[in-house]
A = this chain, B = another copy of it.
Amino acid sequence: MDFQLADRLYLRVFEEDNMMLSGELTENIVITGKEGLEELHRTSFYGRPKGDSLELSLTESAYLIYMKKITVKCAGEELDFEQFFIRASNIVKNFELFYIVYKDLRGRGYYVQPSDIGFRVYPRGGHPGKTPAQYLVFVTSERIPLLVSTLNKHLDNSDNKKKRLILAIVDEESDITHYEVKKLIPSGSSVLKPKTLHSVVTLLEDRCMVWEPDESNMLHKEGFFGKPMDEGHLQLSLVESCYLLNNGIMEIEKRNHEKLGFAEFSDIATRIESDFMIKYKVYEKLRKSGLVPKTGFKFGTHFRVYRSFDSISHSDYLVHAISHDHIFSLQQVSRAVRLANSVKKEMIYAVVSDRIDFIVLGRVRL
């Protein structure tokens, strides 16, 4: 959408009315007189009343200058849109991002108020004074790395305030993509009861092999573990093997018949995959929650996850294990979420600290 038709119509009406209010820029705020309260706040919910005057943020002011609703002076001199915009972008880091997101939301009929992280957005039909805000919108650019801890802080904050958290990511061409961020407690219905194996499993290069046909079949059929290499031989992945070892279901030996304990096995696995331990913790947590995780390689994530293994034909989630000090590249997040949604799955990041938090990211259209 290049620009809003509504803008153009609105502009024309205002030009005819020719009722421009004036405001004064001081530091990072524009203050209008009493008329502002009436014209801008009571009817359209711009700004915050302060006694007899109205305070407008720089974003609101730039938008209102563009809409020809106000003129702004600074030290007696009137600033045009270009001058005001450049000045504002010198004051507020990434001002243009806030402006783009604000203009888009207002242009689509939402009432918007500023917040620490971007904006508070009111539900359709609602407005300040009538309804609480519905969304907290965190504004960022595709290029700004996002710390998991930052995202968690915003999540806690929006949970406390009973708002939905939206990530508004502005790309290099100023297009906006909105993601909703939620916590989730995944759970499924798979109760797993594999019998203890009598045969010994061999660790090959980076996977294990069950050689005994009946036990191969049992593990695969009763727990959806591994993949049959052929009739009678089952290959297990490293996480699967480690889980079965740790739960006393089987023993693992090296090709030289040396037995491996949990610590030795996970050491070897970590040498093969540096993030093995966080991946393993998430695998274990998912299995213990009644879910069936299998490799998500084809989708570029650690796991695809089934809620039960009766419905094994379609997996519900894509889960990627990350550590609590992970830094998101928003380009990668964008790719992961888009891919998950294109195959009708939810994209979940499992954040591993002393506990595991599951964070769902999904595209939304506001």
Contacts and interface: CB of A to CB of B under 8 A. Distances in A.
Interface of A: 2-4, 7-8, 66, 81-82, 85-86, 89-90, 93-97, 99-100, 103, 141-143, 169, 171-175, 177, 202, 204-207, 209, 211, 220, 226-231, 233, 235, 237-239, 255, 272-273, 294-295, 297-301, 331-332, 334-336, 338-339, 342-343
A185 to B, nearest CB: 26
Contacts of A335: 299-301, 335-336, 339
A81 B211 CA distance: 9
B231 A338 contact: no
A175 B227 contact: yes
A96 B205 contact: yes
A152 to B, nearest CB: 23
A300 B173 CA distance: 14
A86 to B, nearest CB: 5
Given A300-B335, A335-B336, A294 B206 contact: no
A339 B235 CA distance: 28
B300 A172 contact: no
A206 B172 contact: yes
B173 A237 contact: yes
A2 B312 CA distance: 14
Contacts of A174: 207, 227, 229, 235
The 3 closest A-B pairs by CB, nearest first: A300-B335, A171-B297, A172-B237
Nearest to A169: B297
A41 to B, nearest CB: 23
B171 A255 contact: no
Given A229-B174, A339-B335, A205 B93 contact: yes
A334 B297 contact: yes
Contact of A82 (B3, B207, B211, B334): B211
B173 A331 contact: no
A202 B147 CA distance: 30
Contact of A171 (B142, B175, B295): B295
Contact of A95 (B142, B205, B230): B205
B231 A300 contact: no
Contacts of A206: 94, 141, 143, 172
Given A3-B231, A141-B206, 18 more contacts: A3-B229, A3-B230, A8-B231, A81-B233, A85-B209, A86-B202, A89-B204, A100-B229, A103-B230, A169-B297, A172-B206, A172-B295, A173-B237, A173-B294, A177-B297, A297-B331, A300-B332, A301-B331
25 contacts: A2-B227, A81-B211, A82-B211, A85-B209, A86-B202, A93-B205, A94-B206, A95-B205, A96-B209, A100-B229, A169-B297, A171-B297, A171-B298, A172-B206, A173-B297, A174-B207, A174-B229, A175-B227, A175-B298, A298-B334, A298-B338, A300-B331, A300-B336, A301-B335, A339-B339
A60 to B, nearest CB: 15
A143 B230 contact: no
A211 B177 CA distance: 25
B173 A338 contact: no
Nearest to A205: B94
Contacts of A7: 230-231
Contacts of A297: 142, 169, 171-173, 175, 177, 331, 334
A48 B42 CA distance: 89
A116 to B, nearest CB: 19
Contacts of A175: 227, 295, 297-298
